[in-house]
A and B are shown apart, each in its own frame.
Chain A
């Protein structure tokens, strides 16, 4: 019994080591941004989707493609434009001319990949945006009257440009709620930027040899592991209390949904696993509160007038609870 238990402990340690290896491999290409990398890993471990807000030229595509290589996942990228149609994402039925009798066959769209980057999602029309809803939530797409299962694991990262709002279609609350986290990518520090410039200007195509650290099967196992990370009842209650408080807060027009409570606890579990802890801590909950809640709450006029943003309100709630 004891030997078995020790082996299981070793398995857990091995999972931690694997996650550390992923970060190390990604670090061969991406300079800094450890916090963002951690949050992306958290979303992957939780089988969740990310809404990434950043200015252009921050290396979002590079980061996601690098992660997909390291964890052995197929990667595809969709550039959203106002004339992008849902079928451009999901795929469409085309006539197979090579067949004996002309038949309609389904031509898979770019959504059929393990990791999908939907760039500037707010430039796509609401119709196209909503085509992503089913993919994000149900892990399937429906074309005509036929539903097609997406690859497992499936991970969608959508980006938004916080500066240019003209000619955009802001995501409705219902769609924003389906993103597990909203990650805000900030500019690198001076030394980091210097390192980036050095790394990407000395070679024509900078592409170091990246090792695939884990297989798809291992990643699915890790996702199961994440859900099993133990959490104390009072710590879980603390997470629920934070989310509930967003519904009571004066400075907010609307608060977060119960889905936010689930995502907060799940994100805290993944964070504990990444940090090599065998249990969820209050600090994990507090650390994940901002990325999980910031896109799920609506600031009131009063809060905007006071110059507060979502992160400040979430921090106030965390301190209060």
Chain B
């Protein structure tokens, strides 16, 4: 019974050590991914904050990492770090069901030797310190990039345009890509297309205010009616062509 408790305690200690390791790993992963997405302005998924996705990924990684580490649990880890327990722990584990004198002597012997055994002996201090330093470095870089607003590129189209013409073989493909982007943005830039009657007049009223004392006031102090023709009535063929072109663009969208 006492030995069972001891073996459980040793496993708990092992899990504790691995929770620390898995936490550091997942924090490091989160900070790295966060820094990369910020620097390159990567949007992982539309409609969700990057931080939410990264947090979810890090939690999944933490669970997986911890499960993997716990799966690899073996008593030999303690035996390796505590030579006085060599072979005794394994023997006790394999003979837990026995209650004869020899087994009791073994259990007593084990309890005596295991008194000084704690998780300290199996902590990989060097690795943990290295991981803490990495996490610290990543935190510092994250804070620094936020303060200085260091971003390698803001718009992916600009990145594409920077590469335009670098490779003559791919030139057509790049160009096609840019054209597509322009077409897609045409409505936003030009506004929704509308039917207009050619040959009609568009009236624009321009009004201004000012003091008579202002220099040059007189030359502009009268209302003027300016009329523009929507298109040249003399060029019906051109207008028709323009209209068809506009409608074709609209259909293309």
Residues of A within 8 A of B (CB): 1, 5-6, 8-9, 11-13, 225, 228-235, 273, 278-282
* Alpha-carbon gap, A6 to B103, bound state (A): 12
Which residues of the partner chain A approach B145 to less than 8 Å between Cβ atoms? none
12 further contact pairs, Cβ within 8 A, besides A230-B94, A278-B102, A278-B105: A8-B104, A9-B108, A228-B103, A230-B103, A231-B91, A232-B95, A233-B90, A233-B94, A234-B90, A273-B102, A278-B106, A279-B88
- Can you sample 26 A-B contacts with CB below 8 Å? A6-B108, A8-B104, A9-B109, A11-B105, A12-B102, A12-B105, A225-B102, A228-B98, A228-B102, A230-B92, A230-B94, A230-B103, A232-B93, A232-B94, A232-B95, A235-B90, A235-B91, A278-B88, A278-B109, A279-B87, A279-B91, A279-B109, A280-B87, A280-B91, A281-B87, A282-B87
Contact between chains at A225 and B87 (CB < 8 Å): no
B149 CB within 8 Å of chain A:
no
Q: Which has the most chain B C-beta neighbours within 10 Å: A229, A230, A233?
A: A230
* Alpha-carbon gap, A27 to B222, bound state (A): 139
- Given A232-B90, A235-B91, A279-B88, the answer on whether A5 and B108 have CB atoms closer than 8 Å is yes
Contact between chains at B87 and A230 (CB < 8 Å): no
Contact between chains at B101 and A8 (CB < 8 Å): yes
Using a Cβ cutoff of 8 Å, how many contacts connect chains A and B? 67
Per-residue A-contact encoding for B204-222, CB less than 8 Å = 1, 0 else:
0000000000000000000
Q: Which has the most chain B C-beta neighbours within 10 Å: A9, A11, A225, A234?
A: A9
Per-residue A-contact encoding for B110-153, CB less than 8 Å = 1, 0 else:
00000000000000000000000000000000000000000000
Contact between chains at A9 and B87 (CB < 8 Å): no
Which residues of the partner chain B approach A225 to less than 8 Å between Cβ atoms? 101-102
B100 CB within 8 Å of chain A:
yes
Which residues of the partner chain A approach B1 to less than 8 Å between Cβ atoms? 1
* Alpha-carbon gap, A53 to B94, bound state (A): 38
Q: Find residues 78-99 in chain B having any chain A CB closer than 8 Å to their own CB.
A: 87-88, 90-95, 98
Considering only CB atoms, which chain A residue lies closest to B108 in the complex? A9
Report A294 CB to chain B, min CB distance, Å: 25
Contact between chains at B101 and A279 (CB < 8 Å): no
Report A261 CB to chain B, min CB distance, Å: 17
Tell which of B87, B104, B105 touches A235, judged by Cβ atoms closer than 8 Å.
B87
Which residues of the partner chain B approach A233 to less than 8 Å between Cβ atoms? 90, 94
Contact between chains at B105 and A8 (CB < 8 Å): yes
Q: Which has the most chain A C-beta neighbours within 10 Å: B101, B103, B106?
A: B101
Q: Is the interface of A mostly helix, strand, loop or mixed?
A: helix
Contact between chains at A9 and B91 (CB < 8 Å): no
Which residues of the partner chain B approach A8 to less than 8 Å between Cβ atoms? 101, 104-105
Contact between chains at B91 and A5 (CB < 8 Å): no
Which residues of the partner chain A approach B95 to less than 8 Å between Cβ atoms? 230-232
* Alpha-carbon gap, A202 to B215, bound state (A): 150
* Alpha-carbon gap, A22 to B8, bound state (A): 41
Which residues of the partner chain B approach A279 to less than 8 Å between Cβ atoms? 87-88, 91-92, 106, 109
Considering only CB atoms, which chain A residue lies closest to B101 in the complex? A8
Contact between chains at A229 and B87 (CB < 8 Å): no
* Alpha-carbon gap, A282 to B88, bound state (A): 11
Report B111 CB to chain A, min CB distance, Å: 9
Which residues of the partner chain B approach A11 to less than 8 Å between Cβ atoms? 101, 105
* Alpha-carbon gap, A260 to B231, bound state (A): 111
Which residues of the partner chain A approach B91 to less than 8 Å between Cβ atoms? 230-232, 235, 279-280
Complex A-B, nearest 7 residue pairs according to Cβ-Cβ distance, in ascending order: A12-B105, A228-B102, A8-B104, A278-B106, A230-B95, A279-B91, A232-B90
* Alpha-carbon gap, A55 to B212, bound state (A): 144
Which residues of the partner chain B approach A282 to less than 8 Å between Cβ atoms? 87
Tell which of A1, A13, A234, A280 touches B105, judged by Cβ atoms closer than 8 Å.
A13
Considering only CB atoms, which chain B residue lies closest to A11 in the complex? B101
- Given A228-B98, A230-B95, A230-B98, the answer on whether A9 and B90 have CB atoms closer than 8 Å is no
* Alpha-carbon gap, A19 to B105, bound state (A): 17
- Given A8-B101, A11-B101, the answer on whether A230 and B106 have CB atoms closer than 8 Å is yes
Report B101 CB to chain A, min CB distance, Å: 4
* Alpha-carbon gap, A229 to B104, bound state (A): 10
B38 CB within 8 Å of chain A:
no
* Alpha-carbon gap, A229 to B98, bound state (A): 10
Which residues of the partner chain A approach B100 to less than 8 Å between Cβ atoms? 228
Q: Which has the most chain A C-beta neighbours within 10 Å: B91, B92, B101, B102?
A: B102
Q: Find residues 222-246 in chain B having any chain A CB closer than 8 Å to their own CB.
A: none
B107 CB within 8 Å of chain A:
yes
* Alpha-carbon gap, A12 to B94, bound state (A): 20
* Alpha-carbon gap, A234 to B86, bound state (A): 13
Which residues of the partner chain A approach B107 to less than 8 Å between Cβ atoms? 5
* Alpha-carbon gap, A232 to B100, bound state (A): 16
Considering only CB atoms, which chain B residue lies closest to A236 in the complex? B94
Contact between chains at A232 and B87 (CB < 8 Å): yes
Which residues of the partner chain B approach A278 to less than 8 Å between Cβ atoms? 88, 102, 105-106, 108-109
